[in-house]
Structure 1
Amino acid sequence: MNARGDATVQSMTGFASREGEHDGTAFQMDVRSVNGRSLDVRLRLPTGLERHEPELRRMIAAAFRRGNIAVSMTLRHRDTPMRYRINHEQLEAYVEAIQRLANSTAIAAPRADGLLALKGVVEAAADEDMAMSGAVLLEEVGALLADLAADRGREGARIVPVILDHLAQMDRLRTEIDAHPERAVPAIKARIDRQVAELLSGQPLAPERLHQEAALIATRADVREELDRLAAHIEAARELLGEGGNVGRKLDFLAQELNRETNTICAKSPHHAITAMGLELKAAVEQMREQVQNLE
């Protein structure tokens, strides 16, 4: 089962919910997805359905590559109110932690309503005579995952134009840096002449040493290679977004490379105006990377 189109750029953030009824048993299922470096799946299934967990995990792995994904499901008899129970094991763990804290800090004793509001203390109670066939379960979970993929796709579609805007800003700044008067050959030559003159103001240098020093100064004075690599990385990022699919890791790598070139431009900057543009460029790269880290 593949819940995603190959060309879709997905966010790792999404939510989906389904409810229905089969053979007198009503069900409610939710799935939440947030950012993650890899795929991490958590399942909370009603009693009797745990045996299907391996297959459900395989379905999720086939549909998604990255993200922390949590699936929960409850069953109840139709026309019967949902029943709840206290998870005493979880409650005792909270109480123990509160007691340890109270021994070292002056805090008020917790109220019962506060304890019951803690996550995992109150949970839906399962009726042992309720069941759902494996085929129905897999069908419903498949539809749930398709809904999640659609939601992640909508969020991805919102993020892509934001990233493209950041790339456009980087390209504009790159062009402005390239066109700055201090980047012109006469300006670079004048700076080299001044620096060579400073070198010669002391003891004379051998011609070979003078040539080496002049070549080193010229290398440090120009950011042509960095600007060319910036242009290549920006174009590569645009192509990845156009191709779609699982581009999050590749875009994150490109963001690191963009940041590296930007740092070098700032370090080699021959003029305060170019430094200012370099810092603005760095900010755009960081903003892009924040968005990229949301993508699968």
Structure 2
Amino acid sequence: MTGFATLKGELAPWSWSWDIRSVNARGLDMRIRVPDWIEGLEPAVRKAVSDAVARGNVTVSLRVSRETDEGNVAVNPAALEHAVRMLAEINATAARNGLPLAHVSAAEIASMRGVIDTAQGDADTAPLAKALIADLPGLLAAFNDMRAHEGQALREVIEAQLAELASLVEQAEGLMEARGEAQRETLRAALARVTDNTDGIDADRVEQELALIAVKSDVREELDRLAAHVDQARSLLAGDEPRGRKLDFLMQEFNREANTLCSKAGFQPLTRIGLDLKALIDQMREQVQNIE
């Protein structure tokens, strides 16, 4: 989702500079900073961005300037009067409180907002708006090109992580026979302790309890789901549509299965693999936050 692009243009007497950038976000969050005196520009920008971007915190900024001459620069009498009255009030208040103020020059007054009117608000902005809107496809194409380049590098990282995750699942599957034998030995020892200290034990009841323990400790379903999630993640990465939210959800499912595997392991080598899975899934989750 991270990206950046700029674009400059001009249409006499105007010149401008576009800036678009994005960082990670759960959805699409737009901040549009364009001059409000250009009618219809902000809605057009919002639509163009929403059509081109599915996810991210996107900020679009536009700076517009106009070449001026003596014919379209003038003092705004009302604004000047207001500025002078405001300065007089400030001076009077300062004097009453014994606070000396520096002399204010005419240039400083002229720099106050609205005192000098370039008459840009009275100009027909339709041609300017049309030219600015025409810039949007090129701006967004450059923006998405950068994101795509970064996304390709990120895809390779996640594919490598998925390969490592699949390898851990295979290692866990390879431990099933040894784990089963270790669990049987543990149960036999526990059963021996019980029978040695109990008279008239019900053999059928013991068999039921042993079967229940075996069912509760079975991790085959967790391993199968982890392998299925790997396949699904690879399929999402191979697609062209936005997939960040789906991968976000898949990371939650990965983590859920890894947690269950650790809690049911009951076998130190399998527990180590479960912890390695959790660490790897956390790394993948951080990377997925950058995917649209």
Asked if Structure 1 and Structure 2 have the same fold, meaning a TM-score greater than 0.5 normalized by the shorter chain, the answer is yes
Matched residue, 1:178: 173
Of 191, 197, 201 in structure 2, the residue corresponding to residue 196 of structure 1 is: 191
**Contact kept in structure 2, 1:252 and 1:289, CA below 8 Å:** yes
TM-score (norm 2): 0.75
Aligned length: 241
C-alpha spacing 1:51/1:158, structure 2 compared with 1 (3 Å): same
**Contact kept in structure 2, 1:263 and 1:282, CA below 8 Å:** yes
C-alpha spacing 1:198/1:261, structure 2 compared with 1 (3 Å): farther
- Larger helix proportion, structure 1 or 2? 2
Q: Quote how far apart the aligned CAs of 1:263 are.
A: 0.8
1:133 match: secondary structure: helix
- Which runs of no fewer than 5 residues in structure 2 stay unpaired? 70-115
Stretches (4+) displaced over 4 A: 125-128
1:46 match: secondary structure: coil
- 2:32 counterpart of 1:68: no
2:61 match: secondary structure: strand
- In structure 2, distance between residues paired with 1:221 and 1:194: 17
**Contact kept in structure 1, 2:34 and 2:41, CA below 8 Å:** no
- 2:18 counterpart of 1:32: no
**Contact kept in structure 1, 2:39 and 2:129, CA below 8 Å:** no
Listed as ranges, the matches of 1:141-220 within 5 Å are 141-180=136-175, 183=178, 185-203=180-198, 204-220=200-216
- In structure 1, distance between residues paired with 2:203 and 2:271: 33
Q: Quote how far apart the aligned CAs of 1:206 are.
A: 2.9
**Contact kept in structure 2, 1:76 and 1:126, CA below 8 Å:** no
- In structure 2, distance between residues paired with 1:126 and 1:137: 23
- In structure 2, distance between residues paired with 1:243 and 1:287: 22
C-alpha spacing 1:126/1:52, structure 2 compared with 1 (3 Å): farther
C-alpha spacing 1:183/1:224, structure 2 compared with 1 (3 Å): farther
Whichever residue aligns with residue 33 of structure 1, its letter is S
Matched residue, 2:9: 20
CA RMSD of aligned residues (A): 2.4
Matched residue, 1:284: 280
The higher radius of gyration belongs to 2
C-alpha spacing 1:231/1:199, structure 2 compared with 1 (3 Å): farther
**Contact kept in structure 2, 1:18 and 1:28, CA below 8 Å:** yes
- Which runs of no fewer than 5 residues in structure 1 stay unpaired? 1-11, 81-124
- In structure 2, distance between residues paired with 1:215 and 1:126: 88
- In structure 1, distance between residues paired with 2:205 and 2:280: 41
- In structure 2, distance between residues paired with 1:50 and 1:192: 79
- In structure 1, distance between residues paired with 2:218 and 2:160: 27
**Contact kept in structure 2, 1:181 and 1:187, CA below 8 Å:** no
CA-to-partner distance for each residue in 1:96-124, whole Å, 9 max, x for gaps? xxxxxxxxxxxxxxxxxxxxxxxxxxxxx
TM-score (norm 1): 0.74
1:37 match: secondary structure: coil
1:161 match: secondary structure: helix
- In structure 2, distance between residues paired with 1:150 and 1:174: 36
